[in-house]
Structures are given as C-alpha cells and as structure tokens.
C-alpha cells in the first residue's frame, strides 16, 4: 500500500510559493527556445535564476544528475541532459523545472516549439497538453481515484493513434522530490487510491508518436523512444484542497 502524505494548508502554501517560482523559471526558459541556442544555455539560466531567487534547482546532483534542469529534444522522452546540442528550426523541446524553496519541492514542465512546428509535432504536443489538463479535470469529479487519470489519458491518446509511456510516471511531492503515490498515465485493471484533501502530486504524461517503448542512452539518464519518433510531455504539481484541485505550478 502506498503511504500518501497529507499536507496541511500551510504546507500547500509553501509548495505554491515554490511552484510560482518554478513556473516563472519555466516560462522564461521557454522564451529562450530559439534556433541557435544550446541547451546548456537554458541550464545556465535555470541554475542562476533559481539561486538568485533563494531556491535550489532540485535536479542538480539528484541521484548524480549533472545539471539543473532536464531538456528533452524530439525523440528524447525525459531526463535529457543539457549540453552542447544546438536547437534548430522544427525541434520540440520539453523543459522540466523542479525547484526547492524553503524545503518544499515543485515540479513542472512544458514542451516548446523551436521556430516553425511541423504538423505532426503540433498534434503531438497539443495532445500531450490536453492529456495533462484532462487528467487534472477528472481529479475534480466526485470520488475520483488516481486510476481515473490514466484511464482518461489513454482514451485521448488512442483517438490520435499515439501511445502513453509506461516506464515513467507522476508522483507525490512536497518535502521530497518523489513521494507516494506513483501516478500512472495509462489504464489499470484495479482502481487506485482515492484522491483526498491534502494530497499533492504531479501529473506528467509523456506521449509518443509511435511505440510507448523507451530505452536509456549510455549516459544512464536520457530516455529516448525505441523507434526514434517524437515524444512530448507536460507537467504540473497539483493539490487537492477543500475547494477542489488547485494547480500549484502557475506563475503569478
């Protein structure tokens, strides 16, 4: 059984403060995604901006991850390491920002277009965004369970002929980067736990153009699609409050 921590309104306030900074960082990083920009420049920005605002980039040194942010381009599903790669027209890039402010984590990502998007990329990115927001929406239905999230997301993907990544999932967050529960983005046989007041977690569907299968490169981090086709992802940290679901990773 997962041990899902219940957060007090005060703790949720802390995560919201951190979320506002993570969202602001992500939005500014997104504006940098132009042809000719190297992913290490995005990393430099995220590290400096985070530290300047009194926070810590959660990725830096996490399980020996070497950089402050994940930059996942085209067929990279997740955990891309910023470096010498130079963005070019037509690329898609997911930037995944996790900040720690006053001991609390907030985790958010978006997929951005570099220059002019190709039609297939546009459909994939729009679908991954829709999957995130529909996943959030079902949490607000009466008696919602974690398993409802994967059910709605799978349905949306199937309509488009896309697939849902199974090897990486959403997660509880708060005083640790990854807490219970594991939030699956695909359909499950058994109903999951009920989503209750005080629970704080991410939804972060990774949607692939082709197969859902992934493989990890020799750097030990970069996960790519097994068939080399595109992958897109969006992520928010959300909380169940007494007024329903609140997105905590919004810029103010």
Binding residues for ligand MF3, per CB under 6 A?
Answer: 59, 62-63, 65, 70, 79, 96, 98, 107, 204, 235
Minimum CB separation of residue 74 from Co ion in Å reads 18
Binding mask 174-203 for Co ion (x = CB under 5 A): ----------------------------x-
Nearer to ligand MF3, 73 or 117 (CB): 73
Q: Give the interface size with Co ion as a residue count (CB under 5 A).
A: 6
Q: Is there binding between residue 107 and Co ion (CB under 5 A)? A: yes
From the list 103-111, 129-137, 139-147, 180-188, the region that binds Co ion by CB under 5 A is 103-111
Q: Is there binding between residue 233 and Co ion (CB under 5 A)? A: no
**C-alpha distance across the termini of the chain, in Å:** 37
Residues 240, 203: Cα–Cα separation, whole Å: 13
Q: Which of Co ion, ligand MF3, none does residue 64 bind to, with CB < 5 to 8 Å depending on kind?
A: none
List the beta strands (DSSP E) in the chain.
Answer: 56-57, 70-73, 76-78, 92-101, 104-113, 163-164, 170-172, 179-183, 200-203, 206-208, 214-216, 223-225, 231-233, 236-241, 244-247
Q: Taking a C-beta distance cutoff of 8 angstroms, is the pair 114, 90 a contact? A: yes
CB atoms within 10 A of CB 196: 10
Instruction: Give CA torsion, residues 186, 178, 98, 249, to 10 deg.
Output: 60
Minimum CB separation of residue 20 from ligand MF3 in Å reads 17
Q: Taking a C-beta distance cutoff of 8 angstroms, is the pair 148, 164 a contact? A: no
Minimum CB separation of residue 96 from ligand MF3 in Å reads 4
Longest Cα–Cα distance in the chain:
48
Q: Which of ligand MF3, Co ion, none does residue 17 bind to, with CB < 5 to 8 Å depending on kind?
A: none
Helix axes 39-52, 9-31, angle to 10 degrees: 140
Q: Which of Co ion, ligand MF3, none does residue 59 bind to, with CB < 5 to 8 Å depending on kind?
A: ligand MF3
Minimum CB separation of residue 151 from ligand MF3 in Å reads 21
Where along the sequence are the contacts to Co ion (CB under 5 A)?
Answer: 96, 107, 109, 202, 204, 235
């Amino acid at each position: 059984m997962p041990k899902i921590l219940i957060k007090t309104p005060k703790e949720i306030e802390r995560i919201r403060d951190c979320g506002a900074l993570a969202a602001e960082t992500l939005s500014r990083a997104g504006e940098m995604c132009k042809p000719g920009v190297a992913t290490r420049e995005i990393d430099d920005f995220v590290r400096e901006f985070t530290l300047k605002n009194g926070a810590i980039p959660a990725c830096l040194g996490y399980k020996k991850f070497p950089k402050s942010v994940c930059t996942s381009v085209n067929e990279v599903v997740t955990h891309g390491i910023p470096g010498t790669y130079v963005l070019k027209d037509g690329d898609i890039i997911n930037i995944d920002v996790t900040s720690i402010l006053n001991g609390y984590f907030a985790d958010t990502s978006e997929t951005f277009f570099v220059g002019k998007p190709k039609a297939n990329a546009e459909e994939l990115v729009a679908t991954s965004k829709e999957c995130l927001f529909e996943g959030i929406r079902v949490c607000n239905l009466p008696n919602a369970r974690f398993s409802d999230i994967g059910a709605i997301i799978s349905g949306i993907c199937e309509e488009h002929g896309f697939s849902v990544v199974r090897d990486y999932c959403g997660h509880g967050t708060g005083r640790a980067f990854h807490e219970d529960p594991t939030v699956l983005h695909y359909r499950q046989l058994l109903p999951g736990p009920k989503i209750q007041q005080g629970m704080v977690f991410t939804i972060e569907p990774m949607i692939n153009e082709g197969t859902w299968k992934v493989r990890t490169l020799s750097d030990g981090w970069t996960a790519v699609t097994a068939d080399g086709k595109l992958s897109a992802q969006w992520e928010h940290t959300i909380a169940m409050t007494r007024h329903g679901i609140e997105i905590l990773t919004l810029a103010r």
